[in-house]
A and B are shown apart, each in its own frame.
Chain A
Amino acid sequence: MRGRFRPGVFWGSGVKRVGVAVLVIVFVVFALLPRQSQFLFHTLGEPLADLVAIPVKGMAAVDRTLREWWMHYIALQGLSQQNRQLRETVRQLNGEVNRLREQAYMAERLASLLEFQEDESVRTVAAKVIGRSVSNWYQGVILNKGEDDGIREQMGVITPAGVAGRIVRTSGSTSIALLTIDPNLVIAGMIQRTRDEGMVQGTSQGLVRMKYLPPLSAVKPGDVVVTSGLTGGFPRGVLIGEVTRVEESEDSLFRTAQIVPAVKFRHLDEVLIVVSPRSPEAMLSLDHALMAPGPQNPTP
């Protein structure tokens, strides 16, 4: 009987019909009320996500152990470890240098104002990457910290090297972060040298683009791009990447810069989730203070 298929292997035909009818209704509701249905799906799926997270975490632990074992004991034991440590140190130092440079810029201007506003500390939660989004259309990673650890949607995700992404979905014990290289993620950025602000967005090619730069911006290749801190989730001055090319078209009002991200997304193992960055309101008041007339901003 090759080629003949018999329905009803798992369910009786009555149950099957009901199942199909339910699916059709769900589909229609989803098409008519997408936002509400997504919320409902998410709420219903949360307990299931916690359940599924158990084998995922187990598998991730096995995977991590095997990879570390391979890296440390088989593939050039000593050199590999040393190289990894050095690279990690360089990455951390790069982030530190960038942070200090940003602080120096800020301190310079603050000092000229004879007014000091205390910098609120940034609180972060460390998380491990336990998996990757299965879809090729969304660049995301699964993290082992969720709502139980205080993680909420829209929180920023960073590494010592720079900005990694933003939390887009949470369950009790896991969360999903959309990476900076995804075209669906937009972050407010700033050219560190010129202080020009723009919107940083990923591209399908795995690069990052900074859009809406002022037409008279003096941005040039090699300039460092950092977060402006004006949108929620990120503190000001976290490294995003380095400008490689500046595009200017005659029919556009703005300039666009292509950026190579500072974070190596293929080797993302641990991240920091920004639980409390400085609030956008605080940043705005700081910017207003900085733009107020003073020695460096004289009144025209």
Chain B
Amino acid sequence: MKIGAYTLLTLLLFSFQTTVLSSVNPFGIQPDFCLVIACFIGFRTGPVHGLIVGFGLGFLQDLFSAGPFGLQTFTKAGVGYLAGVIARNLSNREPCSAFVPVMACSGLSAMVFLLWSRMGMGLGEMLYGFSYILLPQAVLDGLVAIMASWVFGRWLFEAPSP
């Protein structure tokens, strides 16, 4: 039942992000809602589930991405896992506490993309990518995580019922 609900939620969220939300891009940067969801699943249910859900979400994104196949799949899986590991060691459970972990996960994931897509294009492109894509996206994903934490805070920061 839960798997079905999560699959439906993922499909709707993905469709929403690629269509309606594609025009929501402050400063030309689009927040990655799938990354935030992968992090939240990691927070909520631990690294292994974060990894598996991240893998699924990334695979879905890869199907409709203009980049090489597999990049989204493995970065999202890594992010889900990392979020689960971070959550285990997180003592503060306020909504704002989601900002730093999600920002860190987004930054690390974006670093993989930066190296993959801009390597060999010169230092200028690398620095531009770091300053104008990687950093703003990490901050934006962190802010989205805070907003989502306020909405789903109860679900996110409390242990699942048996």
Chain A residues in the interface with B (C-beta under 8 A): 1-7, 9-11, 16, 19-20, 23, 27, 30, 34, 37-38, 41-42, 45, 48-49, 52, 55-56, 58-60, 62-63, 130-142, 168-169, 171, 174, 176-179, 182-184, 203-206
Contact B128 A27, beta carbon cutoff 8 Å = no
Contact B18 A134, beta carbon cutoff 8 Å = yes
Chain A's closest residue to B12 (CB) is: A55
Contact B159 A137, beta carbon cutoff 8 Å = no
Contact B45 A10, beta carbon cutoff 8 Å = yes
Contact B49 A183, beta carbon cutoff 8 Å = no
Contact B65 A138, beta carbon cutoff 8 Å = yes
Give the number of chain B interface residues (Cβ < 8 Å). Answer: 66
Contact B128 A205, beta carbon cutoff 8 Å = yes
Give Cα A5–Cα B30 distance, bound, in whole angstroms.
Answer: 31
Contact B77 A131, beta carbon cutoff 8 Å = no
Interface membership of chain B positions 113-154, coded 1 if the CB is closer than 8 angstroms to chain A and 0 otherwise: 110111001000100110011000100000000000000000
Residues of B within 8 Å of A60, CB to CB, are: 19
| CB contact between A42 and one of B19, B69, B121, B125 (< 8 Å): that residue | B69
- The reply to whether the CB of B60 lies closer than 8 angstroms to some CB of chain A is yes
Shortest distance from the beta carbon of A197 to any chain B beta carbon, whole Å: 21
Chain A's closest residue to B53 (CB) is: A10
Residues of A within 8 Å of B20, CB to CB, are: 59, 62-63
Given contacts A49-B63, A52-B14, A138-B117, 14 further A-B contacts (CB under 8 A): A2-B157, A5-B44, A23-B52, A62-B20, A63-B20, A131-B22, A134-B61, A136-B29, A136-B133, A138-B65, A204-B125, A204-B132, A205-B128, A205-B132
Chain A's closest residue to B63 (CB) is: A49
Task: Identify the 4 closest CB pairs spanning chains A and B, nearest first.
Answer: A140-B66, A131-B18, A132-B22, A138-B66
Give Cα A23–Cα B70 distance, bound, in whole angstroms.
Answer: 12
Residues of A within 8 Å of B11, CB to CB, are: 52, 55
Max chain B C-beta neighbours (<10 A), residue from A30, A34, A45, A204: A204
Shortest distance from the beta carbon of B40 to any chain A beta carbon, whole Å: 12
Contact A2 B159, beta carbon cutoff 8 Å = yes
Contact A38 B69, beta carbon cutoff 8 Å = yes
Residues of A within 8 Å of B162, CB to CB, are: 6
Contact A174 B64, beta carbon cutoff 8 Å = yes
Shortest distance from the beta carbon of B61 to any chain A beta carbon, whole Å: 5
Give Cα A59–Cα B159 distance, bound, in whole angstroms.
Answer: 34
Residues of A within 8 Å of B87, CB to CB, are: 5
- Can you list 22 A-B pairs, Cβ within 8 angstroms, ordered by A? A9-B160, A10-B2, A20-B51, A23-B52, A34-B68, A38-B68, A38-B69, A55-B14, A130-B18, A130-B19, A131-B18, A135-B61, A135-B65, A135-B67, A136-B137, A137-B113, A137-B114, A168-B66, A177-B66, A182-B66, A183-B125, A204-B132
